Amino acid sequence: MGGGREPVAGGAEARRKPAWLRVGLPSGANSRLVSETLARRGLATVCDSARCPNKAECWGQATATFMVLGRRCTRYCRFCAVEHGREGEALRPEEPEELAGAARELGLAYVVVTSVDRDDLPDRGAAHFAACARALKALVPAPRVELLVPDYREGELEPVLDARPDVLAHNVETVPRLQSLRDARASYAASLHTLALAAARARGGSPVVKSSLMLGLGESRDELLRAMDELRAVGCSSLVLGQYLQPTRLQAEVARYVPPEDFALYAEEARSRGFASVVSAPLARTSYHARSSFENDRPQGL
């Protein structure tokens, strides 16, 4: 999709991955609890659909990134393993309440919700996305809610923002020169526009506006730094940098495995440019350590 779902995975190149990218398999009571809760309520996660390398860590902490609007994306990006097709699945009217119920059962204080792209729907799924956020915010106590949305534009993003998420995230994915890896309906300019719309609506620092870039696709240092500047220029205050991992042989190959020390240097560059919160590490993804990232970014008192 064009920047909503997290393009995370890793499996096809396991034998060639450096040691810092090797992760374990989900196990333990918390992992089983997450799996059972999701299955019983008919919910999907990006952890499974996009083959996230952090699944073991997150599920072990009873944390998951929920994926709404079905499991089939109407876009095809060359780095993403999520199922795709011309049309998505029928929306489930009960999904917002099931999502809230799962968050309550799991005792989540911070919930991340993302989605597939739904170009086949009149509003591209914005109203359903907003309903999911409202259901979560109606819980007592209400969790913090982070929404990782598609490239919603005017008339689509407003209902989502009206649901009062604490964080509004949308991913530019990669630098402008490499945007051909995304579906042709997505673009760097459209993604910046979505982020700018969210930042313009923010009052008192809420919602925090967040984006993510994948490294290792062939970008140069100068291109990455220029993208940071452009994200700051539209009001993005939270940045995530992570290593692209090839999900299967069908997706784009990794151009380079970026070492941890380079991620540390890029984090310094991002902070020097004014990002309030930066998560920069090989296994970092948009929702990885999302709660601590939010705590670092939000203004005092919020």
| pLDDT surpasses 50 at 69 | yes
Q: Which residue has the higher pLDDT, 152 or 300?
A: 152
Q: What is the DSSP letter of 262?
A: H
Percent of the chain with pLDDT over 70: 79
pLDDT digits (tens, 9 = 90+) for 70-85: 999 999 999 998 899 9
Residue 97, sorted as left (phi over 0), alpha (psi -120 to 50) or beta, turns out to be alpha
| Model confidence pLDDT, tens digit, residues 95-113 | 999 999 999 988 888 889 9
Write down the pLDDT at residue 79: 93
Cβ count within 10 A of residue 248: 12
Percent helix, strand, coil in the chain, to 5, is 35, 15, 50
User: Closest by alpha carbon to 286, among 220, 240, 238, 229?
Assistant: 240
Say which residues have a Cβ less than 8 Å from residue 76's Cβ, sequence separation at least 6. 84, 183
CA distances from 186 to 171, 175, 182, 192, 246 (A): 11, 13, 6, 11, 20
- Give the per-residue SS3 of 43-56: CEEHHHHCCCCCHH
**Residue 54 · residue 41 · CB < 8 Å:** no
Residue 22, Cβ density class (10 Å: 0-12 exposed, 13-18 middle, ≥19 buried) = exposed
* Position 144 pLDDT exceeds 50: yes
Nearest alpha carbon to residue 168 among 75, 216, 72, 234: 234
What mean pLDDT is reported for the chain?
Answer: 85
d(C-alpha 261, C-alpha 282), whole Å: 10
Bridge partners for 212 per DSSP: 240
The pLDDT assigned to 11 comes to: 42
Least confident of 6-15, 256-265, 284-293: 6-15
Is CATH 3.20.20.70 the classification given to domain 14-296? yes
Reading the block at residue 48, the tokens are: 């499974």
Would you say the pTM of this structure is higher than 0.75? yes
Output b/e per residue, 121-157; b: 16+ Cβ within 10 A.
beebbbebbbbbbbbbbeeeeebbbbbbbbbbeeebb
Under a CB-based contact definition with an 8 Å cutoff, are residues 251 and 78 in contact? yes
Domain residue extents for the chain: 14-296
Q: Rounded CA gap, 184 and 211, in Å?
A: 20
Could you read off the pLDDT of 240-269 as tens digits, one per residue?
999 999 988 999 999 999 999 999 999 999
